[in-house]
Amino acid sequence: MPRADSYAYAIAYVRALRSRLISNEQYETLLKAKDDYEVLRYLSDTVYGSYLSEYSGRSLSLSEVDSLVFKDYYNVLRELIGARTTELARQMLEMMYMRHELSCLKSIMRLVLAGRTSEPSLPQVPLIGRFTPGYVSRLLKSRDLRQLFQEINEPQVRVIVLDRVAECEEIHSTVPAEMAIDRYYLSSLWSLTGKLENWDKEPAREIVGTEIDVANIGLILRGKFLGMSFSTIRDLAIPVRYRLNLEVDSAIEAATVFEAMQTLSSGEYGPVISAARSECERQSSLLPLELALKRHFVQRCSRAFVGYPFGIGPLLAFISLKYLEALDIRTILLGKREKKPADSLRHLLISIS
């Protein structure tokens, strides 16, 4: 099958949808809204308007906010999975869908570790795919992380997280298990890129490889921040280096999180890290750098629409951009509810330039 024919519909579909992503001007309008009700009113003029009728005139719960902002994203992703592409493209898109199922698991892990009860906690878990209300309710009844992990239906994921129980218990955090899940997902996605035809491979690796690099930087720094051992961080790191090199090894061996940051500044992502470092030190937080790296990823995704118009690259890029847009709208809605000023919220957005 000619390669153009393999992607013709899917590429036309995402290019049309890309023109309907929230623009900078629309973001500014949302930021100027006086409260979350006004944000919802402004959203009625966007692609999210078709989902708003059931929420008219009332404040949304956290689960309803998530349902609203991610519904269009999931619909687009399911449409692309069912579209005419290639078998490998379909597998990669299905893996991206599985990622969100694994996000449900992460939410459950945090609730179980915190000792939250079943029914009141259910609305806090984003339901998707195999994570039905019944399945989630059963998992939330777990007494501890070990019991929870043993209840997971997916054998590979169950083995991965069970191997991290001791570390989670030691630091009283689910971060080691969450990192192990990210490693599983991103390593699997990278493996699929290696099976693509040469003309399709590099655009896909530009998206997936950048996301892996960003994840590894975050993993190393969060691990340092939590006091994880060198060996644990090394073991959890995703075994792929797209544009990261020897600075990774030095950063893992660094004594502190800011020494690790300094070491990572010597590589490909140096300008991004250096620009955010002083703000991280001022706030004693990794959030400024995490946001800066996600904005860098947005720029990489936007480049996927330049050049040869067909292939898996633009599909992966658009799905990533759409997901990050949903996160930004969620941030604005919840921020307005908490009466946060527009400037504070603007600093938290990923997609606005």
Chain segment 26-38, per-residue pLDDT in tens:
999 999 999 988 9
- Strand-pair partners of 131: 128
The predicted model scores a pTM of 0.90
The confidence score (pLDDT) of residue 56 equals 67
Half-sphere exposure of 27 (CA within 13 A, CB side): 21
DSSP states along 113-124: HTT--HHHHGGG
pLDDT tens digits, one per residue of 81-120: 999 899 999 999 999 999 888 988 998 999 999 887 655 6
The separation between CA 32 and the C-alpha centre of its own chain, rounded to angstroms, equals 26
pLDDT tens digits, one per residue of 227-252: 899 999 999 999 999 999 999 999 99
Are the CB atoms for 189 and 95 separated by under 8 Å? Answer: yes
pLDDT tens digits, one per residue of 159-178: 999 999 999 999 899 999 99
Contacts 24+ apart (CB under 8 A), 27-35: 27/328, 27/332, 27/349, 27/351, 27/352, 30/329, 30/332, 31/332, 31/342, 31/345, 31/346, 32/342, 33/332, 33/336, 34/336, 35/336, 35/337
The confidence score (pLDDT) of residue 63 equals 74
Task: Report the C-alpha gap between 6 and 23 in whole angstroms.
Answer: 30
The confidence score (pLDDT) of residue 210 equals 97
The confidence score (pLDDT) of residue 121 equals 57
The confidence score (pLDDT) of residue 1 equals 44
Are the CB atoms for 262 and 250 separated by under 8 Å? Answer: no
Q: Which residues of the chain have pLDDT under 70?
A: 1-4, 56-58, 117-124, 126, 308-309
Are the CB atoms for 292 and 285 separated by under 8 Å? Answer: no
